[in-house]
Each structure stands twice: as structure tokens, then as C-alpha cells.
Amino acid sequence: MTSRVVVEADGGSRGNPGPAAYGAVLKDAASDEVIAEDARTIGVASNNVAEYSGLVAGLRLAVEHAPGAEVEVRMDSKLVVEQMSGRWRIKHPDMQVLAAEAGEVAPDGTTYTWIPRARNAHADRLANEALDGVREGVTVAGAEPAPEEEVPDEDSLIEEIESPGAARGDQPRDQAGHRGWSGPSAPPTTLVLVRHGVTRHTAAKRFSGGLGGDDPALSEEGLAQARDTADWLTGLGERVDAVVSSPVRRTRETAEVVAARLERTVEIEPGFAEMEFGEWDGLTFAEVAERDRAGLDAWLGSMDTPPPGGESFGTVRERVLAGLDRVLAEHTGRTVVVVSHVTPIKTLVAHALGAPLEAVYRMELSPASVTVLSFYADPAADGAARGSMRLYNALPPGERATVEPGRW
């Protein structure tokens, strides 16, 4: 029987608060061998709540799989370690509840140690795998995992794109009983939407529009993000009919990396360019608020009001949906990788879900993230396509989201 065990735990929120998950791993302290792992999504929560949830899960692993063992908890959250050690007060109500639960679960004598983030990579990876939809539940070393708890291989994203019913249960049906809003003989056209990697404007949280703005290149970090996402998409192989890009520089550079990995050329679709921000291009949200508060309030208050010299959300929707129609007509029934921007991707998601355009204010989208939409021909609507969302704002396993709070 193991006499000493280590619990490593972490949690993360893409949006803070936003979609959140935790990861926890139980190891033998002497051999460093993994005894059990747990990774789960917890809905919308803050980073701290996700971290505390990971702690509780890790302690439960210790109680169940190493009863009577001495437990050391290692986390990269200074807040959780100091609070659980009794040195810092716990003020947030949600964390008070979770800390009390952790205290009840923890075996007598449990100790808490802060470690650098780099040394907590295992738990961090588990949390991100849960957020990416490729991991959910407990895995015990040496045990045969249940089908729903198996850790997918590198093709997990491909399976989600090509056959979501196999991974998530039955697909939705319309009133006529058709799966995925389509007739039984009509294959969907699937768009694998990739947001470009970061630029200097992304890092500084500056408005960065289409061809009418500064048109910055990808930074080194942005190129690395593009390569990671391209590697993740490699398994699509010949399923991809085309790689389509906005004409803007940062999307073209991202698309070229993806296309090279998929052995495709890049097609340009001007409808998928970013919103033009006119006089606000290159400014931060705070700078715009200081210089043009009335204009900013008008823009935020109406989907049909543009920034000075720019485009409104309504105008962007018109050209994005025109671009969508062209892609659907050109690549009917096939899979297409589309490299675009925040506003066009959010617009396509709202359209696919039948949501009002104002829904773009309620979405966060990380650089180099992947969103998957399928469009099915709807004979009842004179051939118009109806949409279904299969994946949203997913990142390659191990990558942490870097959302941009306060953009809109």
C-alpha cells in the first residue's frame, strides 16, 4: 500500500468567468507514478473556483485510491495554497464553500505546497483537455477505462468534426425526424473556422480591422500558435476540400501555415475580412472611450451604427453571409477550413444558431482557436442552409486560452 501520495491540481476559465474545467492527478510520492487522474468541465466559473474544484477532486482521488496515505497537495495557485494552509483569509463565498468541502475531504495531516506553473503541467494539461472536449472523468492507472472515459488519440478533433454523433450521442432532429436539420441523403458542408494567431495589436488589446487598417503581421507567438493549430488539424487530411482565408495579412499568414500542413493552397474570400474600425483602428478600448465616448456608446448601442469611417455589425453580417453563400455553393457537402477573425466567426456562429446578432457581445474567441459549424440544405426553406455548431473556441490540447475581455 502506498504510504505517501502527491496530489497535483489545477483549473482554468476561458473568460474568467467563462467556460471552466479542472484537472487533478494523484501520484505515488516515492516513484512519481500516476495512480489516477480526473478532468472535468464545471460550466461557467472563475479561475479560482476552477482551481478549488481541482483541489477537491484531487483530494477525493487520494481518499478513494490511497486510503490512509500521507497526502501532499502541490498547486501553482498561491491563493489556494495560502488559504488552505490557513495563512490567508477566504473572502469569496464560492471559494468559502469549496474550501470547506476540501477541508472535510482532506485526510488529517494534509500539507499544501506552492509550485511554479511549469511544474504543474500535468494537471494543467488535464484541465485544458476537459475544456477542449477530449477528456471527461476519472482514469485509474492499470484499469480498463469505460468508453466515455477513454482518452482520445490525436484524431479526436477529426472525429468531432466528421462524426459528432459518435462522440456526443444522437444528433438533434427537426420536426420531420431528420438528423442535424437535414434529410438522410444530404451531407453537410462543414466549416472548420480558425481565428488567426496574435499580432502586436492583439497583445496590446487594440482595435485591429481589415484591409483599411494597419494590417499587422503575425508575431512570433502568433506564428507558433498557427503551427500548433495546424498540427492539430493535420489529421483532417484529404477530408479538406479547401483552405479559405480572409484577405487580411494576419489571416493569410495563418492560413498559409495551415494549408502547408494540409497540402492545400489558400483561397481568398473577401467576405470573411474583419470589421473595419475606421478612425479607431490601432487604438485601445480605453483610448477610444477617452477620445470619442459618444461614438463608442452609439456603436455599442446599435448593430447598425459604425465607428467613424468604419463598418457596423449589420454591414459586416451582410458581407460575411454573402461569403458564406459563396463557400457553401463552391464546396457543397465537403469540409472547408476557413481562417478568419473575431467578428466574422462570431457572426457565423450566431447565424448558425439562429441567434440575434447581439449574441456576438456574449462570446469570447481565443487566438488560433477552432470553431466548427455544419450547414445542411433545408428543402423547406427553398434550399437555404440551416446551421449546427459542433465545436466552439477549442484550442490544441495543452494550450491555454488567451481571451480578450473588454473587446465587446
Positions marked active-site: 196, 274
In angstroms, rounded to a whole number, what is the distance separating the alpha carbons of residues 36 and 264? 42
- How many residues does the structure list for the chain? 408
Give residues with Cβ within 8 angstroms of 64, minimum separation 6: 36
The CA–CA distances, whole Å, from 335 to 158, 162, 197, 233, 262 equal 11, 9, 22, 12, 12
In angstroms, rounded to a whole number, what is the distance separating the alpha carbons of residues 161 and 167? 10
Phi, psi of 322, rounded to the nearest 5 degrees? -65, -40
Q: Are 75 and 81 in contact (CB under 8 A)?
A: yes
Q: Are 20 and 42 in contact (CB under 8 A)?
A: yes
Phi, psi of 111, rounded to the nearest 5 degrees? -115, 160
In angstroms, rounded to a whole number, what is the distance separating the alpha carbons of residues 22 and 7? 13
What residue type is assigned to position 171 of the chain? Q
* Long-range pairs of 390-394 with CB within 8 A, sequence gap ≥ 24: 390/160, 390/161, 390/164, 390/190, 391/133, 391/157, 391/160, 391/161, 392/349, 393/14, 393/19, 393/363, 393/364, 393/365, 393/366, 393/369, 394/131, 394/132, 394/133, 394/157, 394/369, 394/370
Burial of 397 (C-beta count, 10 Å sphere; 0-12/13-18/19+)? buried
Of 292, 294, 392, 293, nearest to 349 by C-alpha is 392
In angstroms, rounded to a whole number, what is the distance separating the alpha carbons of residues 55 and 135? 18
Give residues with Cβ within 8 angstroms of 305, minimum separation 6: 298, 299, 312
